[in-house]
Structure 1
């Protein structure tokens, strides 16, 4: 856990903990910073750059989009959110990749804000997995950044082609 991904999580944690309404976790109502930080994190790390720009191509559209997000119903607990975000501080998905014996298909999106493909981390680490393949969904004004991989419409047609490619392992 590093880079922008960790910095954004840390900002969520610090914004809640520094909110006087949090009261060191002894609040009687949810601190306002919880919803604000959650909306901020979601916009900053999900939605896709092109799609978000298309949807909010003017300041007025951007303000309306943001106002809607901030006014939408929100269910959450500040202490639960803190635990969730803080629990990722030492997460490292690259440990023991060589031990994986199952076929692996890693799908990422070109416009993924949390796991940006331009860093090359996924491609580098998948070479350590004996039978791994990778699919990179091109970014567009209809993809959703980090959320794209959860939408089969973006990857199901290309799945057969990717599975026929040779594994990425370098050995």
Structure 2
């Protein structure tokens, strides 16, 4: 693939220094092959989805300019998770690093390995809020506007900006 595509990646961690896990992952995203210019949202704290017997998550969203194909990008993201010692013990369980390919340009992808836009994107404040920070005018491939999704979220969804956020400086 020769043209550059904007891809959005959701980041989450709730184990082994979650803030540091996210910061290191953002640095690693900048070094992905055929990928440049990484922008990142502020860091947020959110309650876990699914099992509540785990620590809160630190979340962010990154925008990448990449020439990697969607599956090649997914491979890179999964390799990065493995370098962060990601272990998949249970669905929605605790993890050192979770990287989700949220959007890949205006493409709709539905394969056994990858679904883009991410199927849960619109329902999760810890994705919509930081994504809106990076791209407030964004329109999803199905025509929904990100601003409308943001407005539809409950005001008290438990999402909080992480104090002393390096992205606020």
Band the TM-score falls in, shorter-chain normalisation: under 0.3
Give TM-score scaled by structure 2 length: 0.27
Which of these two proteins has the greater Rg computed from alpha carbons? 1
Give TM-score scaled by structure 1 length: 0.27
Specify which structure has the higher proportion of helix.
Answer: 1
Specify which structure has the higher proportion of strand.
Answer: 2
